[in-house]
């Protein structure tokens, strides 16, 4: 049996109300599946069972067993929520990828020239960043379609747009 992989599914934005609810920034295209009542999430080494989930003014609010008041909820601010998934499982959305699918991919420019390799994926509050090893230099590329227009898992590579300064800040055009 293959060990499960851990994927980031959300980030605690803030406490909501006085009963321990948490507003969560969703980091999965499958929130109804990954953040549903009864699901077990991991946060900094602690397992949390989702007791309730609801939408409120465009935000997802979660309540976890054992987090029963605002004081306790405030302690979770800014923390990542993770879920275990089977390594063979793939996201339902064709435009979504798990970190382990991206790490190790070759990185090319639109002309097919080699740039480097995806070393890791960083999860920031506003977006994900690909950490690329470009000949020993660490390059951070926002993982958005405009900058990463193609991901081909079968071929083992992705394409990074040719944007001045993106891969080489010294090559940026002067304004």
Taken in order 37, 41, 44, 45, the sign of the CA dihedral is positive
Same domain, yes or no: 64 and 109: no
**Percentage, residues of the chain above pLDDT 90:** 62
- The tens digit of pLDDT for each residue in 82-107 reads 998 887 777 777 788 888 889 999 99
Domain end among 85, 108, 129: 85
Q: What is the CATH number of the domain that holds 135?
A: 2.30.30.240
Sequence-distant (≥ 6) Cβ neighbours of residue 131 within 8 angstroms: 118, 119, 120, 121, 122, 138, 139, 140
Decide: 128 and 121 in contact? Cβ < 8 Å: yes
Same domain, yes or no: 73 and 117: no
Please indicate, yes or no, if residue 92 is contained in any of the structural domains. no
Least confident of 27-36, 40-49, 149-158, 166-175: 166-175
Q: What is the CATH number of the domain that holds 56?
A: 2.40.30.60
The total number of residues written for the chain in this structure:
175
Same domain, yes or no: 27 and 66: yes
Same domain, yes or no: 53 and 124: no
Same domain, yes or no: 147 and 111: yes
- The tens digit of pLDDT for each residue in 139-163 reads 999 999 999 999 999 999 999 998 8
pLDDT given for residue 126 in this prediction: 78
pLDDT given for residue 46 in this prediction: 94
Count of the separate structural domains present in the chain: 2
Range of the domain at 18: 5-85
């Amino acid at each position: 049996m293959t060990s499960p992989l851990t994927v980031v599914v959300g980030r605690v934005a803030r406490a909501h109300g006085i009963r321990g609810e948490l507003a969560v920034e969703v980091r999965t295209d499958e929130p109804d599946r990954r953040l549903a009542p009864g699901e077990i999430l991991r946060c900094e080494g602690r397992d949390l069972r989702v007791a309730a989930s609801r939408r409120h003014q465009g935000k997802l609010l979660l309540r976890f067993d054992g987090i029963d008041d605002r004081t306790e909820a405030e302690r979770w601010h800014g923390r990542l929520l993770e879920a275990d998934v089977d390594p063979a499982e793939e996201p339902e959305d064709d435009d979504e990828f798990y970190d382990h699918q991206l790490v190790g991919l070759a990185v090319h420019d639109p002309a097919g020239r080699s740039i480097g390799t995806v070393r890791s994926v960083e999860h920031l509050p506003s977006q994900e960043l690909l950490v690329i090893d470009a000949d020993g230099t660490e390059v951070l590329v926002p993982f958005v379609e405009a900058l990463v227009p193609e991901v081909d898992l079968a071929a083992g590579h992705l394409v990074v747009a040719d944007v001045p300064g993106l891969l080489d800040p010294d090559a940026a055009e002067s304004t």
